[in-house]
Amino acid sequence: MAKKQIVIDPVTRIEGHAKITIQLDDEGVVEDAHFHVTQLRGFEKFCEGRPFREMPSLMARICGICPVSHLMASAKACDALMAVKIPPVGAKLRVVMNLAQITQSHALSFFHLSSPDFLLGLDSDPATRNIFGMIEKYPDLARDGIRLRKCGQEIIAILGGKKIHPAWVVPGGVSEPLDEERRDKIVAMLPEALEIILRTLDWFKASLKNYEEEIATFANFPTLFMGIVGEGGLLHHYDGKLRIVDSARNIIKDGIEAHEYRKYIGEAVEPWSYLKSPYFKPLGYPEGIYRVGPLARLNIINRIGTPKADDEWLEFRKLDRHAVMSSFHYHYARLIEILYAVERMNEILHDEDILSTHVRAYAAPNCEVGVGMSEAPRGTLMHEYHIDKHGLMKSANLIIATGHNNLAMNRGVLQVAKHYVKGKELKEGMLNRVEAVIRAYDPCLSCSTHATGQMPLHVQLVDRRGTILSELKRN
Amino acid sequence: MSKVRVATVWLDGCSGCHMSFLDQDERLIELAGLVEVVHSPIVDPKEFPENVDVAIVEGAVSSEEDLHKIRVIRERSKILVSLGDCAVTSNVPAMRNPFKVADILKRAYGEMADHNAGTGPSEVVPPLLKRARPLHEVVHVDVFVPGCPPSADAIYYVLSELLAGRTPTPAELTRFGA
Ligand code: SF4
């Protein structure tokens, strides 16, 4: 039987190095599809022998898109190693930086990477289907995206001294308190961000009717959903415990603490990807498939906790009777989270004690194992560190947001490929849809490859004897 | 005047250097009028094209695929910019150099795995090189821009100088670890 394979390499407008392969049978019908992550960096090994206090700065270098998330999870793991409770204002300041990063990272995913698909069209010319094409055709929208991302990045720089890889988050808290001048500067930036996100939500919601086919097929299937929830089941990206719900929004497991994660999360290895596939242990592999990230977070919470975002959430919930199932709605969920982030930063920065100078606790290492957990833009992040009695690292285990979604991304690629790819007549737009389902998850492959590259999109249908039956190149 | 053909490439880095490129913010709008980004993780064309005027490369050379790519990039580009400490010194990626590749794989896929634990992936994925290396060890580099990452201002300065036909000297704006 002639087996054929389509390779999309690299997947573009995502953050990282990946390819997709699609296997076809001799009729050109899609049989199977895989999403491969092609780089490994070795953080879990090369941290060995280094002082644990270096970890936040080092681990931030896992990823330049969400360095702050790694700072948070890493610093929390270090707090656990020292067994300290960090001063409340130190924690609040960490939360503000984390929300600033949610804002910039979600803006990047939505505007810079995915909006060309929405506005220029999934079938538009690939040569201009990007942020520069947007600047030309929709300058106001492109500017909105650039301004919104800039707002998040500037808040990070105002707090931490630098937009990317700030050194301000440290074991025990943060290294410098906030002063009035800088606080006022941040607060003054928020109204514009609020306006941008509200008008973006308006046009995006109005455009959803154009994507009914994509919504129905973009990884639209039941899975579990997982994430951190704060007190009272409110949305929280920094503090809280893990909750897992099923597709009917029944709570399967609640109140899981960071140090218990291994009881519930297993990691599977597949020979064709550097990215491992975590699964919910009680259901086994691969039945324990679950999703994390903005969509999952909006599916697991009781409510959001800020007024405007709560209104949007109630509307969002109406999309499905139970959990919102289509991964296309990651985009929508991302916008609602930006709205929440802007509202919440404003609230925290108006807290009376926010300028307190007591922002850091000091201690020697007191425990041999520390686990830190936080919600990155793309989902739950877990850092587990083991140290010796001198505080030198013995090993680390990292489960990153994109990893949790690996099983669901693979299944999503298959679903979209089956629906859109008809092997006998390949069209660029079909393959762009296969990539777009991956884009909806906004995978962060620098993170997932803490654990490489670009080659042409070059699709060949080859029969068993190696004769090329059909060929498609994207140049 | 025809636009200058610019490519940006991401090898073994954290993408922070690319994010710093995007941190040029509104200056991107100005740039869009002067340059055509012909290849980059943020645009769709998959193949590294011929006749690139400026190739900006982030990250070290760590896998066989990286090695192949950087050679193709060099061949097809007039000016090659080594962007950020990972490209210039191999920085963070080089931290794995004292360890054997097999041990790195064993940690991730043997010790830290519950299902199919073993020696690690081997199909489709490119093998890692023994050592992560800086770009200039493998190909000729024209402009070095250190920093982790170099600031958006430094990147903007380098691009503006190149667009004006001058050789940038970014030492005042950025340094190792900046
Ligand atoms: S130089 Fe720094 S910012 Fe750039 S890729 Fe390397 S670690 Fe990331």
A29 and A175 belong to one structural domain: no
Q: Does residue B110 fall inside a structural domain?
A: no
Beta carbons of B44 and A279 less than 8 Å apart: no
Residue B92 Cα to ligand 1 middle (Å): 8
**Residue A46 is assigned to a structural domain of this protein:** no
CB A52 within 8 A of CB A78: yes
d(CA A10, CA A32): 18
- Structural domain includes residue A422: yes
Q: Which two tokens stand for residue A213?
A: 């086919």
Domain presence at residue B123:
no
Query: Which long-range contacts does A460-465 make (Cβ < 8 Å, 24+ apart)?
Result: A460/A5, A460/A6, A460/A7, A461/A4, A461/A6, A461/A24, A461/A28, A461/A423, A461/A426, A462/A4, A462/A5, A463/A2, A463/A4, A463/A26, A464/A1, A464/A2, A464/A3
- A21 contact residues in B (CB cutoff 8 A): 124
Residue to mutate among A37, A63, A132, with most B CBs inside 10 A, is A132
Same domain, A16 and A150: no
ipTM attached to this prediction: 0.88
Same domain, A377 and A288: yes
- Give the residue, by CA position, lying nearest to ligand 1 atom 2: B148
Say whether both A342 and A466 belong to one domain: no
Question: pLDDT tens for residues B65-87?
Answer: 899 999 999 999 999 999 999 99
Listed residue (A2, A41, A43) closest to A23, CA to CA: A2
* DSSP-H helix ranges across A350-473: 401-404, 406-420, 428-441, 445-448
- Which residue has its alpha carbon closest to ligand 1 atom 6? B86
Q: Which domain holds residue A35?
A: 4-41+408-474
Helices A139-160, B27-34: axis angle to 10 degrees equals 130
Distance from CA of B113 to the nearest CA of A (A): 5
Query: What ligand 1 atom has the least distance to the C-alpha of A61?
Result: 7
Q: Are residues A262 and A296 in the same domain?
A: yes
Is the residue at A49 inside a domain? no
Question: Strand, coil or helix: what is A233?
Answer: helix
Chain B residues lying within 8 Å of A136, measured CB to CB: 32
CA distance B108 to chain A (A): 7
User: Secondary structure of A285-336 in the HEC alphabet?
Assistant: CCCCCEECCHHHHHHHCCECCCHHHHHHHHHHHCCCCCCCCEHHHHHHHHHH
Q: Does B127 touch chain A (CB under 8 A)?
A: no
The secondary element (H helix, E strand) that includes residue A28 is none
Extended strands (E) in B19-152: 35-39, 52-58, 61-63, 77-83, 128-133, 143-145
- What are the phi and psi torsion angles at A392 (to 5°)? -95, 145
Helix (H) or strand (E) holding A182: helix A180-207
Cis peptide upstream of residue B41 (ω within 30 degrees of 0): no
The reply to whether A326 and A207 lie within a common domain is yes
Residue at a domain's end among A385, A404, A423 = A404
- What pLDDT sits at residue A472? 47
Domain presence at residue A47: no
pLDDT average, residue stretch B6-22:
92
Using the Cβ of B100 and the Cβ atoms of chain A, whether some distance falls under 8 Å is answered with: no
Contact A150 B25 (CB under 8 A): yes
Same domain, A424 and A302: no
- Residue B118 domain-assigned? no
Q: Do A132 and B37 count as a contact with CB atoms less than 8 A apart?
A: yes
Average pLDDT over residues B142-147: 96
Q: Which residue do the tokens 């007591």 mark?
A: A358
- pLDDT reported for residue A446: 54
CATH code for the domain in which residue B162 is found: 3.40.50.700
In a domain, B89, yes or no: yes
Query: Considering only CA atoms, which residue is closest to atom 5 of ligand 1?
Result: B13
Do the domain assignments include residue A144?
A: yes
Asked whether residue A61 is domain-assigned, the answer is yes
User: Using a 6 Å cutoff on CB, does residue B154 contact ligand 1?
Assistant: no
Characterize the bridge pairing of strands B4-10 and A379-387.
Answer: unpaired
Is A295 among the domain residues? yes
Say which CATH number the domain at A99 has.
1.10.645.10
Same-domain pairing of A119 and A30 = no
The number of the ligand 1 atom at minimal distance from the alpha carbon of B19 is 3
Place of tokens 């001799």: A26
Interface test with B, best of A108, A272, A274 (most B CBs within 10 A): A274
In terms of domains, do A272 and A376 share one? yes
Q: Which atom of ligand 1 is nearest to the CA of B59?
A: 5
Look up residue B165 and give its DSSP letter: T
Domains of chain B: total: 1
> What's the pLDDT score for residue A445?
56
* End residue of a domain, out of A404, A422, A456: A404
Is B83 within a domain?
yes
Ligand 1 pocket check for B148: Cβ under 6 Å: yes
Domain assignment present for A48: no
Report how far ligand 1's centroid is from the alpha carbon of A369 (Å): 28
Return averaged pLDDT per consecutive 10 residues of chain A, 475 residues in all. Answer: 64 66 74 68 84 92 88 96 96 97 94 86 80 89 95 97 93 96 98 98 93 82 92 96 95 95 88 79 89 95 97 94 88 96 98 97 95 94 94 90 83 78 69 76 60 33 44 43
A313 in the same domain as A431: no
Kindly state the tokens that stand for A358: 């007591």
- Select the more confidently predicted residue: A202 or B178: A202
Q: What residues are paired with A32 via a beta bridge?
A: A23
The count of structural domains within chain A is 2
- B63 φ/ψ angles, rounded to the nearest 5 degrees: -125, 170
| Domain span including residue B69 | 4-97+128-172
Q: Could you tell me the distance, in angstroms and rounded to a whole number, from the CA of residue B175 to the centre of ligand 1?
A: 13
Q: Which residue, of A386, A404, A422, is where some domain finishes? A: A404
Residue B102 lies in a domain: no
Question: Do the chains contact at B95 and A46, CB–CB below 8 Å?
Answer: yes
DSSP-derived secondary structure letter, A126: T
In ligand 1, which atom is closest to the CA atom of B88?
1
B126 Cα to the center of ligand 1, angstroms: 21
B171 touches chain A (CB under 8 A): no
Query: Is B172 near chain A, with CB under 8 Å?
Result: no
- The answer to whether residues A310 and A427 belong to one domain is no
Whether A150 and A186 share a structural domain: yes
Residue A450 is predicted with a pLDDT of 42
Q: Residue B15 CA: which ligand 1 atom is closest?
A: 5
Among protein residues, the one with the nearest Cα to ligand 1's atom 7 is A61
> Among the residues of A2-87, which ranges form H helices?
43-46, 55-60, 67-82
Side chain identity at A195, as an amino acid letter? E
